[in-house]
Amino acid sequence: MKKVLIIIIAMIVAILGYAAVSPKDFKIEKSITINKPVAEVFSYLRLIKNSESWQPWTRMDPEMKKEFKGVDGTVGAISSWSGNSQVGIGEEEIKAISENQRIDFELRFVKPLQTTNTAFLSTEEISANETKVTWSMSGSTPFPFNLICIMMHETVEKNFEQGLNNLKTILEKSPEAAVATEVVADKVKTEVTSEVKAEEVKQ
């Protein structure tokens, strides 16, 4: 019994030692080429609600609860979620938008681990009908929780790849999605313009 206890303690020390010398910062980044014009791809990506169709988290928990604040597709829009152990609890906020180029997000996780990461979706025109989409997330996790990130790194990479493949399928094989995106994008522009005019009137 004593020997078993010593072995267990030695294993814990070894694991903590590995975590202590392992990187605290991480970055996951994957890309894919979609056979659609950059403007069409970007219009779809900028809407947080569209992410439910292609990001893998929704499929991990179909009963996940989601709430939205602000005008979707604009800076300040927030999507919060609460689900099972696979998706946890948290929210994401659009922090910056560079038209037809990049959307920056802040990810604020509450469970299973409280932390804040940054992420972005970028689009790059390869040709008139080809767009490179890059999905990236980065952050820093303190010791000893960085060991969890190391263990999960490969899984999250696969989730990113799956999500981008879902996105490619939706945009290339579902013309309806593109049409719906254009309609919503026009609505976003209208709502933003109305808000700006309302502010001007108040001033």
Report pLDDT digits (tens) over 2-61.
665 666 665 555 555 544 555 557 788 999 999 999 999 999 999 999 999 999 888 888
Does residue 172 fall inside a structural domain?
yes
> Measured at the alpha carbon of residue 175, what is the angle toward residues 44 and 38, in degrees to the nearest 5?
40
The pTM of the whole model exceeds 0.95:
no
Does residue 3 fall inside a structural domain?
no
CA count, 13 A, side-chain hemisphere, 183? 7
Helix residue ranges, H only, 46-174: 51-54, 57-60, 146-173
Which band of pLDDT confidence, cut at 50, 70 and 90, is reported for residue 147?
A: low
* CATH code at position 155: 3.30.530.20
Using an 8 Å Cβ cutoff, are 82 and 64 in contact? Answer: yes
- pLDDT of 179: 46
Rounded mean pLDDT of the chain?
80
Total structural domains within the chain? 1
Does residue 17 fall inside a structural domain?
no
Beta strand residue intervals within 12-112, DSSP E: 25-34, 65-69, 78-82, 89-98, 102-111
Does residue 203 fall inside a structural domain?
no
Does residue 45 fall inside a structural domain?
yes
The boundaries of the domain holding residue 60 are 22-187
Other C-beta atoms lying within 10 Å of the C-beta of residue 149: 21
Amino acid residing at 78: I
Distant-in-sequence, close-in-space partners of 75: CB < 8 Å, separation ≥ 6 = 94, 95, 96, 97
